[in-house]
Structure 1
Amino acid sequence: MIFFILALAVLGCKEDPLPKPKAMLRLEFPKAKYKQLNSECDFTFDSNTASEITAKEDCSMVLDYPMMKGSIYITYKRVDDNLRTLLTDAQKLSYEHTVKADNILEQPFVNDEDKVYGMFYEVTGNAASQSQFYVTDSTDHFVTGSLYFYAKPNYDSIYPASVYLQRDIRRIMESLKWAE
């Protein structure tokens, strides 16, 4: 009788195995809120209030996003008969990632009203930088920017943060205005 109760207890308590549903980690970031960055530099743009900005004397700056472990690095240079060199360097920097990148998508940017012209590079794959851009007025000003994460590049893992920060880069390009 005891053997029967023990056997019933052991065999009766098992549930049918069920497969685990496939799931993806869902990362949610706050809705972007923008404010105009006012500085003593020769340009202004809208920056996400979620970023922490560190500016340098040469008008270069870092927009740091601690919760995403990423940063947008922005560099400013004056154009002094060196536009071709600046353009070549910016394009070369973007294509240095082709070793690890699966694809680099070029998206031209033109804002005739504010005289802002440039290119946005979206990099897919396990490259060090997921986005690069440059903008210029072709005569006086040149701004480049790069998105980096402070983690080993794993495209699948950083993709949600990358998309979020690429929207911020596009906002920077679209709102950029040169000082009078």
Structure 2
Amino acid sequence: MNLIKCTPLFLLLAILFGSCEGEVLPKPKAFLRLDYPAPKYAKVQSDCPYAFEKNELAIIDPKQNCWMNLDYPALNGTLHLSYIPITNNLNKLLEDVQKLTYEHAVKADAIDPTVYENKEQNVYGMVYEVSGNAASQAQFYVTDSIHHFLTGSLYFNVRPNYDSIYPAVNYIKKDIRKLVESLEWKN
């Protein structure tokens, strides 16, 4: 008989002590905050037939025939630059760039081309912004249509996950824009 009288009291105490932890709420989603330094641009001078301004954060890795990489170690990415002299092959060069760019369409959510034209410097081209989980997040080419053709491709040294690399992509896309806008051909 004592056991029956104690059971309701025991249940009441268990409920009171068990419910004192407060309201249970799901944790809000956390967002990674990445702060990159403000870009500082400097003119790149070389023996190549072109000059441009680059972000001081990028390290030049020269290759043969005026090809070069702009490495971004802090962002784990590389902008590959390829220079090709025009020798009655402009149409083929343009086709190759478009083919390379649109090969990423399989994984890309969108490819947004932007025409670039600077008549004073005789620089004409196209910048392709690629969104989604494509291998390359940006492609571009610039030319004077007679002698010079320069193309660039942005790649990251990680498996493509657009959400993760988005801040770095935006940072380097601004550098690509500055490179294209500051490009000058040498004679």
TM-score (norm 2): 0.88
Structure 2 unaligned segments of length 5 or more: list them.
Answer: 1-9
Q: 1:109 aligns with which of 116, 129, 149?
A: 116
Q: Distance in 1 between matches of 2:91 and 2:110?
A: 25
Q: 1:43 aligns with which of 41, 50, 61?
A: 50
1:68 aligned residue = 75
Query: What pairs up with 1:65-144 in 2 under 5 angstroms?
Result: 65-144=72-151
Q: How many residue pairs are counted as aligned between the two chains? A: 176
Displacement of 1:15 in angstroms is 3.6
SS in 2 for 1:84: helix
Displacement of 1:75 in angstroms is 0.2
Displacement of 1:13 in angstroms is 6.2
Q: Runs (4+) of structure 1 moved beyond 2 Å?
A: 10-19
Q: Distance in 2 between matches of 1:178 and 1:24?
A: 43
Q: Distance in 2 between matches of 1:109 and 1:165?
A: 17
SS in 2 for 1:45: strand
CA RMSD of aligned residues (A): 1.7
2:60 aligned residue = 53
Q: State the Cα deviation string for residues 10-68 of structure 1 (Å, max 9, x = none).
A: 64863432332222111111111100001000000001000111012310000000111
SS in 1 for 2:125: strand
SS in 2 for 1:67: coil
Q: Distance in 1 between matches of 2:23 and 2:108?
A: 45
Identity of aligned residues (%): 53
Q: Distance in 2 between matches of 1:83 and 1:171?
A: 24
Displacement of 1:81 in angstroms is 0.7
Displacement of 1:82 in angstroms is 0.7
Q: State the Cα deviation string for residues 152-179 of structure 1 (Å, max 9, x = none).
A: 0001111110011111111110000001
2:27 is the counterpart of 1:20: yes
TM-score (norm 1): 0.92
Q: Distance in 1 between matches of 2:47 and 2:137?
A: 29
2:3 aligned residue = none
Structure 1 unaligned segments of length 5 or more: list them.
Answer: none
2:152 is the counterpart of 1:148: no
